[in-house]
Amino acid sequence: MADETREFPRRTVVSAVGAGAVGGLAGCLGGDSGGSVDESAPTITHERFGKGETPLTYQTSTFYTPIEEQSDQPAAAPALKEQHEAWAENHPDYRIDVKYPAFGQWKNNLLTSAAEGNAPDGSTLDSKWVADFYEYLQPLNDYVDDIDDFFPFVRETAVRDGDLLAAWKYTGCRCLYYRQDVLDTYNDGDPPTTWEELLTVGQEIDAGEEMDAFMFPTSSALTNLPYFWSAGGELLDDSGAPVLGEDANRQALVDALSFVRDLVDTGVTPQRVASIEEVEFLPREGRAGNLAMFVGNNDQIERNIKNPIEADDGVPDDRWERWKVAKIPRPADGEHTTGVGGWTEGTFRSSDDGAADAMKSFIAKFVEPESMGRYCESAALLPTRESVFDDEELYDPDTPYQDRFREFLQDGVARPPRPIYSTIASEYVIAIENVVTDQADPESAAETMITNVADEYDAS
């Protein structure tokens, strides 16, 4: 997941690779091999959920263990424990035996086992993996209520032929961060909504302030794909084949890269943006007063702006409030878009017996409004159901701008859940960096990207 920073929270014990790299999952493999569970044993453990005689198999990450001491996301563990306890109470004859595979081999091994008919009963899945498992995942329609309540990007990815095949349990989005006090001076307080406006306002800030006007993480494809999407571009057709070479998509790619080049040529964005790899760099520059606007992830307002400011005795606690969020600027004739990610749950149990019922109930519980709200609140993540935002008893995080992020999710575009996306993402990052550093003009960078993606697809 070299292009995501919050789809999967990063392990603090693993070094990141690039701006949005994600550490691996726990390499330990756990789970009971069979037989009964001692009556005095706890209902929920790291390697077992429930105490029933009949075991079900399940793979997930240590970010999603319900045991705080063994979790890489301990704040969310109590919500998961409560969720699993409720499932275990309703399914006393069953238990979930849990394994925590190493991330690097997880997807490929799971695909192999699914193709051989040996998949686990259930598994956590990155949202961009879902399409690779369409033929193996089992419908959840009878277990998940109100599928239309999910944001459009969820339905576009997780629903096929009317069947909900994956329970998308949380998400995140990208947005424009801006200094309200700076924009009060240079744009009547309004954030720029178009590329042209960003270039105009950015040049005024660059000339009038001792700070950079606008920056973005060049090493994150998902953060920068909104430029392409809002210009009307599409990456793949319905069959999963790349269509960057089609005239409209080629032009959208050239337009997006030309906008990036204009940012640098006008001085709105410094060329050194190409060398920034650390996710926290841009909000840190913002806190230090060196940056007026940047594109970042929704969780950074709390994690990288509000919390550090409130923890700094030398800075007034309310200083973070001058930072606001807005939609990512678009072409004048384009639509706002934002990249979304997140993780899902799915089941491979194809029978219609009690075990399949128990497994589907377990998976569905992740997207019940109550479970989703409590988990997302504790983990500082965004729900994928619109209704959860409306119920303060379910979801009332002490995090700024939740209503704005909900609005942004309406424009959410998910990473295409196809294997070729990885090549597209890496080639897009290279194209952007080459344009920023003036190693290639937008047209030639676009042509190189189109050719490399097509060659990789044809060879696969």
What is the predicted pLDDT for the residue at 34? 53
Q: Is residue 30 scored above 80 in pLDDT?
A: no
| Mean pLDDT value of segment 225-233 | 98
Q: List pLDDT tens digits, range 252-271.
A: 999 999 999 999 999 999 99
pLDDT band at 24; cut points 50, 70, 90: very low
Torsion angle of the four alpha carbons 134, 137, 142, 144, in this order, in degrees rounded to the nearest 10? -80
The yes-or-no verdict on residue 19 having pLDDT over 60 is no
- What is the distance between the alpha carbons of residues 101 and 26, in angstroms, rounded to a whole number? 6
Q: What is the pLDDT of residue 36?
A: 76
7: left (phi over 0), alpha (psi -120 to 50) or beta: alpha
Residues 310-328: pLDDT tens digits?
Answer: 999 999 999 999 999 999 9
Cβ-contact 190, 355 below 8 angstroms: no
Q: Which residue has the higher pLDDT, 239 or 331?
A: 331
Dump pLDDT digits (tens) for 56-105: 999 999 999 999 999 999 999 999 999 999 999 999 999 999 999 998 89
